[in-house]
Amino acid sequence: MIARSYERIHRANLVGMGVLPLQFVADDSVTSLGLRGDETFDILGIGPSLLPMQALTLVIERANGERSERPLLCRIDTAIEVSYYRSGGILPYVLGELLGAPAGNTTD
């Protein structure tokens, strides 16, 4: 999910459900980027070494084939949240811990 900003509890709830909160950087927004809903998107930089507050890249491909790249900020703010995200949320993380599975390996 990409937004201009997040309320603290909303951001934490997204991470807790295994959803990656991403934030536009600077003055970028749906409006300023002219997004209409017919674009496709790729997020570059999400990988095994994902870090809290990591800079990522949004690749926008418009219906006419035009491509552009914009910076994004990963709003996973702490190391434990990275583990929650990699596990698919808090509940799968806790279940994995109870069953002795290595943290962060339930979605790989």
- At 97 the pLDDT is 87
H/E element holding 67? strand 67-74
User: pLDDT tens-digit profile of 29-70?
Assistant: 999 999 999 999 999 999 989 999 999 999 999 999 999 999
Which pLDDT score is estimated for 41? 97
- Give the pLDDT of residue 108: 46
What value does the mean pLDDT of the chain take? 92
pLDDT at position 102: 63
Rounded Cα gap, residues 47 and 68, in angstroms = 21
What domains are there in the chain, each with its CATH number? Answer: 2-99 (3.20.19.10)
Task: Tell me what percent of the residues of the chain surpass a pLDDT of 90.
Answer: 85
pLDDT the model gives residue 101: 67
